[in-house]
Chain A
Amino acid sequence: MKIRRVGTAGLLIECPDAQRVEDWRAELWKRRAAGELRVVEIVPGARTVLLDGAAPGTAEALPGWEPAPGGIQAEGPLVEIHTVFDGEDLESVADLWRVTVDTAVRRLVETPLTVAFSGFAPGFAYLRGLADEWAVPRLAAPRPRVPAGSVALAGGYAGIYPTASPGGWRLVGRTDQNLFDVRREHPALLTPGTRVRLVAV
């Protein structure tokens, strides 16, 4: 386990893989809820967990909180995303995978996904679970406007655009579910650790 300093009140925990990030994120949320950890932000990344605004002494406490490897596999809530698979880039994704469009869609609905981390925009979740060899490059030129609800792929991740924005991910489908609503008690539908299934409609 390696901890890097980030300014005066930030700590970055480096993890060997995404599962370890999830273990740490779950452990730290639990410690914070129990009042053992005082921190402003706990931000998971692809291979790191950032603590921002951590109370003095946190760096010293962290080694004692290291989650047991392969220990608690925290089961997050399950969210089904009802998806129409008619994305503009669905055929190009199938071509990159060297399969038919039907097979590509079957892969997407059969793969259990998990929210690894969020970023890019409020409520935008990076979903992991797709096989490494299915990673697809971003578009060479990003679209100036991707509609809200677009289900898309880039790198090894799937993601759903919560709001219309420019974007370079490959569009495979769309959903009309509301990914982010500030009027809800829990504004984001997909939070780190949430399990996700794409369901074809």
Chain B
Amino acid sequence: MITVLRAGPLTTVQDQGRPGWAHLGVPRSGALDAPALRLANRFVGNPDDAAGLETTMLGCALRFERPALVAVTGAVADIDVDSRPVERLRGCQLFEVPAGGVVDVKRATRGVRSYIAVAGGIAVEPVLGSRSTDTLSGLGPARLADGDTLPVGVPTAAPMLVGEPARPGGELVLGIHLGPRDDWFDTKGLFGSPYRISPLSNRVGSRLAGTALTRTRAGELPSEGVVLGAVQVPADGQPIIFLADHPTTGGYPVVGVIDDVAPLAQAQTGTTVRFRELD
């Protein structure tokens, strides 16, 4: 069992989400930086779909009742185990925690979200096949609060040494496939001056601030299904890129779809964003 000593501003249980329910209005949810969580799971010998913790900017502190093998990936952040710093190697901090040990994941110095995998996985009750907290619909476990306790599962396999993940931080160039509703816009605006990540961004979407896209046709779009990475353009012309907790349908036109949302999970407020058109 794990006790949450400091939950941080937004720490949630996440796995690879609950796809397959969108026709009922259930968001996919899951880790925003899915490759980082997968990597952390592999470091401790968990299957890819095991649940870990996703922190936001300021990390969290946890006390482990039993000895545990822990891997932390994603954002670059200092970690103390019982007040002793842990080294980061190959994009990961991998360490053993003794019984009663305290792990303190500190503020992110690069990136935004740390992924904490524990051998055996976080074993909260799944909802519709997933342990993920969905901040839009409220499905899954509540966000962590100080004093919460979390069950840990039984480790099933030996840890693996795996490759280094992409390093978070820096200017982003996002590959975008235009459509399905690019004919509603003058899309040149998308590729002109860069955008910046707005502080209003969250697990539902990365909100961009910059050149407002101009509509080339009037009218309202009847609600239609949307996908992960969809670049939706509301009435004010400022694009929103949908992340894991995005709604399943939307009434604003989608100008394009980006091919990889993981870098956005690690993009701090103010990060410069450019688009590059893909075929």
Contact = CB atoms under 8 A, between A and B. Distances in A.
A149 interface: no
A42 B23 contact: yes
Identify which of A44, A53, A123, A182 gathers the most chain B CB atoms within 10 Å of its CB: A182
A45 B224 contact: yes
Nearest to B278: A8
Contact of B227 (A46, A50, A126, A192): A50
A120 B19 CA distance: 16
A193 to B, nearest CB: 10
A199 interface: no
Greatest chain B CB density within 10 A among A12, A44, A188, A192 is at A12
Contact of B223 (A12, A52, A117, A191): A117
Contacts of A12: 180, 224-225
B25 interface: yes
A177 to B, nearest CB: 16
Nearest to A186: B24
A85 interface: no
Interface stretch (B148-156, B159-167, B247-255, B267-275): B247-255
B138 to A, nearest CB: 7
Nearest to A43: B225
A43 B248 contact: yes
A105 B6 CA distance: 53
Give the interface residue-count category, chain B.
Answer: 20 to 34
B2 interface: no
B147 interface: no
A43 B21 CA distance: 9
B79 interface: no
- The winner among B19, B177, B249, B259 for most chain A CB atoms within 10 A is B249
Contacts, number: 106
A22 B97 CA distance: 55
A43 B179 contact: no
A180 B23 CA distance: 13
B128 interface: yes
Given A120-B247, A122-B137, A45 B19 contact: no
B23 A118 contact: yes
B222 A41 contact: no
B26 interface: yes
Nearest to A190: B24
Interface string B231-269: 000000000000000011110001001110000000000
B121 interface: no
A119 interface: yes
A10 B227 contact: yes
B227 A7 contact: yes
A53 B19 contact: yes
A43 B247 contact: no
B170 interface: no
29 contacts: A6-B227, A6-B230, A6-B254, A6-B257, A7-B230, A7-B257, A7-B258, A8-B257, A10-B227, A10-B257, A12-B180, A12-B225, A40-B20, A43-B248, A46-B222, A47-B222, A48-B224, A49-B225, A50-B225, A50-B227, A52-B227, A118-B23, A118-B248, A119-B248, A119-B249, A122-B26, A123-B25, A180-B24, A188-B24
Interface of B: 19-26, 127-128, 137-139, 177, 179-181, 222-227, 229-230, 247-250, 254, 257-259
